[in-house]
């Protein structure tokens, strides 16, 4: 399974990234904080994280949009001919 995800994996239940126990080939992973078991192992955990990453990406896009709007507002401050909604 190929992935470009370089960050830390997080538990889908409790969000912890530092309580994982896994067997040698990572075909079984358990979170020792909330006792969640990933019977699909690393692939299953990765899948949960991929969904989270997609959410984060959407959030980043929204934040960037806000930031750009704010910068434009700042840039045009004092110009009464340009209005932002
Ligand atoms: Zn957990």
The model carries a pTM of 0.58
> Do the beta carbons of residue 9 and residue 18 sit within 8 Å?
no
- What is the model's pLDDT at position 44? 94
Nearest CA to 1 out of 56, 41, 55, 36 is that of 41
Instruction: Encode pLDDT of 25-74 as tens digits.
Output: 999 999 999 999 999 999 999 998 988 888 889 999 999 999 999 999 99
Is position 14 within any domain? no
Residue 48 belongs to what domain range?
Answer: 20-75
Helices (runs of H) and strands (runs of E) counted in the chain: 1, 3
Is position 67 within any domain? yes
> Do the beta carbons of residue 37 and residue 30 sit within 8 Å?
yes
Give the number of other Cβ atoms within 10 Å of residue 55's Cβ.
9
Give the number of other Cβ atoms within 10 Å of residue 68's Cβ.
10
How many A from CA of 1 to the centre of ligand 1? 23
How many domains does the chain fold into? 1
Is position 49 within any domain? yes
How many A from CA of 61 to the centre of ligand 1? 28
How many A from CA of 11 to the centre of ligand 1? 5
Is position 8 within any domain? no
């Amino acid at each position: 399974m190929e992935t470009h995800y370089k960050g830390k994996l997080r538990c889908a239940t409790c969000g912890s990234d530092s309580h994982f126990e896994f067997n040698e080939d990572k075909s079984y992973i358990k979170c020792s904080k909330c006792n969640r078991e990933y019977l699909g192992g690393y692939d299953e955990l990765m899948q949960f994280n991929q969904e989270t990453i997609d959410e984060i990406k959407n959030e980043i896009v929204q934040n960037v949009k806000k930031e750009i709007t704010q910068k434009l507002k700042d840039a045009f401050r004092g110009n009464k001919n340009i209005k932002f909604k």
